Chain A
Amino acid sequence: DAGITQSPRHKVTETGTPVTLRCHQTENHRYMYWYRQDPGHGLRLIHYSYGVKDTDKGEVSDGYSVSRSKTEDFLLTLESATSSQTSVYFCANQGQGNNSPLHFGNGTRLTVT
């Protein structure tokens, strides 16, 4: 069990509004990730974090920012939502140890109208 809770599970917002998605983990894992899932694209990395206040960009980071002020929380912010950001967003963490794989939350479905 990854112990990941994503909130909200569903959100509808209008173009141009800011949106923040939250990922909370019950474990104390150092590495956390944000992915988006789109039909025909699989999952693509948006941002990741390797510790408190340590974050870096992934493949599709334009239009997104993240923050990690506590180990257990990793926030994804869309500064000004666009219709192209309609997607399902997944948070993941990586367990302790060098051979630990990613474990995913249940996702947030975001619709930008």
Chain B
Amino acid sequence: AQSVTQPDIHITVSEGASLELRCNYSYGATPYLFWYVQSPGQGLQLLLKYFSGDTLVQGIKGFEAEFKRSQSSFNLRKPSVHWSDAAEYFCAVGAEPGGGADGLTFGKGTHLIIQP
């Protein structure tokens, strides 16, 4: 069965500092990997996805993520955070882009707090 671990429940970062959110997954084959962001009271917005090819993927809002098969990781990074980045971030894995019969498996989320 596939699973996703986001080890950090909360992370606090100063505005302008760099950010890295960790994601480890368990999946038997080559996974489809995603990062979503959720602002309070809103749905999930796709930040970026990895399907195949280049292991460093660029997303919206200046985010990037790197797929490391040897470490079963897909960490999200941003060089300089803005106060508007404060939100909940979810990593997800699936057998297909939409998840198919098993759906996407989501991590429990990391709550990002931005300090002024």
Question: Does B46 count as interface, using CB distance less than 8 angstroms?
Answer: yes
Interface size class of B (residues with CB under 8 A): 20 to 34
A56 and B101 within 8 A (CB): yes
Q: Chain B 31-45 against A: per-residue CB contact (8 Å), 1 yes, 0 no? A: 000101000011111
- A30, closest chain B residue (CB): B98
Question: Does A33 count as interface, using CB distance less than 8 angstroms?
Answer: yes
Q: Provided the pairs A33-B98, A101-B34, A101-B49 are in contact, do residues A90 and B104 lie with their beta carbons within 8 angstroms? A: no
Question: Does A48 count as interface, using CB distance less than 8 angstroms?
Answer: yes
Question: Does B77 count as interface, using CB distance less than 8 angstroms?
Answer: no
Q: Choose among B34, B41, B103 the residue that contacts A33 (Cβ–Cβ < 8 A).
A: B103
Question: Does A74 count as interface, using CB distance less than 8 angstroms?
Answer: no
B-chain residues with CB within 8 Å of residue A58 when the two chains form the complex = 102-103
* Interface hits, B93-116 → A, CB 8 Å: 97-99, 101-104, 106-109
Question: Does B90 count as interface, using CB distance less than 8 angstroms?
Answer: yes
- B104, closest chain A residue (CB): A102
From A4, A43, A105, residue with most partner B Cβ within 10 Å: A43
Question: Does B63 count as interface, using CB distance less than 8 angstroms?
Answer: no
B43 and A101 within 8 A (CB): no
Interface size class of A (residues with CB under 8 A): 20 to 34
* Interface hits, A63-103 → B, CB 8 Å: 90, 92, 94, 98-103
CA distance A92 to B109 in the complex (A): 18
CA distance A56 to B101 in the complex (A): 8
From A58, A100, A101, A107, residue with most partner B Cβ within 10 Å: A101
Q: Provided the pairs A42-B106, A45-B102 are in contact, do residues A99 and B43 lie with their beta carbons within 8 angstroms? A: no
From B44, B49, B98, B104, residue with most partner A Cβ within 10 Å: B98
Q: Choose among A41, A100, A105 the residue that contacts B108 (Cβ–Cβ < 8 A).
A: A41
- Name 11 A/B residue pairs within 8 A (Cβ), A-sorted: A31-B98, A33-B99, A42-B109, A43-B44, A44-B103, A45-B104, A58-B102, A101-B49, A101-B98, A104-B36, A107-B43
Q: Beyond the given A43-B104, A102-B97, could you list 13 further A-B residue pairs with CB under 8 A, ordered by the A residue number?
A: A4-B43, A42-B90, A42-B108, A43-B106, A45-B99, A45-B103, A58-B103, A100-B98, A101-B34, A102-B104, A105-B43, A107-B41, A107-B42
